[in-house]
Amino acid sequence: MDKIFTKPKSLRDIPTHYCPGCGHGVAHRLVCEVVDELDIREKVIGVTPIGCAVIAYDYWEFDCCEAAHGRALAVATGIKRMRPHNLVFTYQGDGDLAAIGTAETIHAANRGENLTVIFINNAVYGMTGGQMAPTTLLEQKTATTPLGRCAKLEGYPLKISELLSCLPGVYSIERVSTDSPAKVLSAKKAIKQAFINQMEGKGFSLVEILSACPTYLGLKPIDSVKWMAETMTKEFPLGKIK
Amino acid sequence: MPKITIDRERCKGCQLCVIYCPKGLIKPESRLNKKGIQPVMFLEGAAAKRRGAASGSNCTGCKFCALICPDGAVEVYR
């Protein structure tokens, strides 16, 4: 009997600090599977964010660099320009990439930096205690919008992928989800393509991964994946955006 | 016959594998693990029948449980 599925070698064999049902665990594993399959473990450099994934470098068996809050793409630009033969990717959440780091994100995309961006969108601030994120859906209850997000007061959910897709420097943008095994497989395919784009020098590739945050959605893990499939994907439709 | 193993100390009890197993062969365990979390267990043979899995249903090694597990607690053999 052969072992047909086990953890990738690039993923360190220690338990993660994430809550039960958190999408970060799946996203971490997918990145590692792609790194192993493309055999780029000695070449890849990850830039980790501030947010729940702040200690992602503890779980990955390849080189990583920590960036200040929101500045992962600025740091990644520096690394890539000094070491063009290395593959550089950033792994950022919505608070990092879409809130405090919006300027860095837009300018790195506009410059068409040859980088891969893994963007985890869970519609809430996880690490700081469940406050409203720019990607929070309308009428979604969070710690700072206890009556639900109201467009008049807090604005509309920020669709960063659609926003970036109109920039000529951007090569590819895809939105994927982690709410079912089939979607996990297509998420892996998108991440792999984003790394291949960088290897071929095509330019800025972003993969937006919709992820569940059961703790701050106030739902059971099983209900939170249903919420993602039914509610979140209506606001953030899946598929290739550019 | 294909089978899976679940690392019960690593399992955080999110039960996503329970809803995605097409054969209903994964169920919550009654004992807690060292962290005080109720992990899940894989049912084989007579145990599967006792816990209400459809008769004659065996693991097909489809990997659904392993793909959805956020904690890498599942290994699949075929």
Strands of the B3-6 sheet, one edge to the other: A3-5, B74-77, B3-6
Q: CA separation (Å) from B29 to A120, B37, B51? A: 31, 10, 11
Nearest CB to A181 within list B13, B14, B20? B20
Closest residue, chain A, to B16 (C-alpha): A222
Q: What pLDDT was estimated at residue A122?
A: 95
For residue A13, give every residue at least 6 positions away whose Cβ sits within 8 Å of its Cβ, in sequence order, or none.
Answer: A7
Contact: B77, A3; criterion CB under 8 Å: yes
Of B3, B14, B72, the CB nearest to A21: B14
Q: Hey, are the CB atoms on B68 and A181 less than 8 Å from each other? A: yes
Query: What's the complex ipTM?
Result: 0.92
**Residue extents of the structural domains in chain A:** 23-240
CA distances from A148 to A139, A151, A229 (A): 4, 10, 20
Average pLDDT, chain A: 96
How far apart are the C-alpha atoms of A177 and A209, rounded to whole Å?
Answer: 5
Number of folded domains in chain B? 1
What CATH number did the domain enclosing B29 receive?
3.30.70.20
pTM score? 0.95
Interface of B with A (CB under 8 A): 2-3, 10, 12-16, 18-20, 37, 61, 63-64, 66-72, 74-78
Contact between B12 and A19 using a beta-carbon 8 Å cutoff: yes
Q: Which residue from B minimizes the CA distance to A225? A: B16
| pLDDT value at B57 more than 90 | no
DSSP per residue, chain A:
--EEE---TTB-SS---PPTT-HHHHHHHHHHHHHHHTT-TTTEEEEE-SSGGGGGGGTBSSEEEE--TT-HHHHHHHHHHH-TTSEEEEEEEHHIIIIITHHHHHHHHHTT-S-EEEEEE-SS-TTTTS---TTPPTT---SS-TT---HHHH-PPP-HHHHHHTSTTEEEEEEEE-SSHHHHHHHHHHHHHHHHHHHTT--EEEEEEE---HHHHTS-HHHHHHHIIIIIHHHS--EE--
Band of the pLDDT at B62, cuts 50, 70, 90?
very high
Over the stretch A158-207, which tens digit does the pLDDT of each residue have? 999 999 999 999 999 999 999 999 999 999 999 999 999 999 999 999 99
Cβ–Cβ under 8 Å, residues A67 and A46 = no
Q: How confident is the model at residue B53 (pLDDT cuts 50, 70, 90)?
A: low
A-chain residues within 8 Å CB-CB of B18?
222
Alpha carbon of A224: minimum distance to chain B alpha carbons (Å): 10
Record: fold of A23-240: Rossmann fold (3.40.50)
pLDDT at B46 over 60: yes
pLDDT digits (tens, 9 = 90+) for A23-45: 999 999 999 999 999 999 999 99
Whole-number Å distance between alpha carbons of A187 and A177? 6
User: Tens of pLDDT along A107-145?
Assistant: 999 999 999 999 999 999 999 999 999 999 999 999 999
Classify residue B58 by its DSSP letter: -
Beta bridge partners of A240: A174
Per-residue pLDDT at B58: 86
Candidate from B16, B74, B77 with C-beta closest to A21: B16
Are A1 and B14 an interchain contact pair (Cβ–Cβ within 8 Å)? no
* Structural domain of B49: 3-77
* B75 to chain A: closest CA residue: A6
Binary contact (B67, A185; C-beta < 8 A): yes
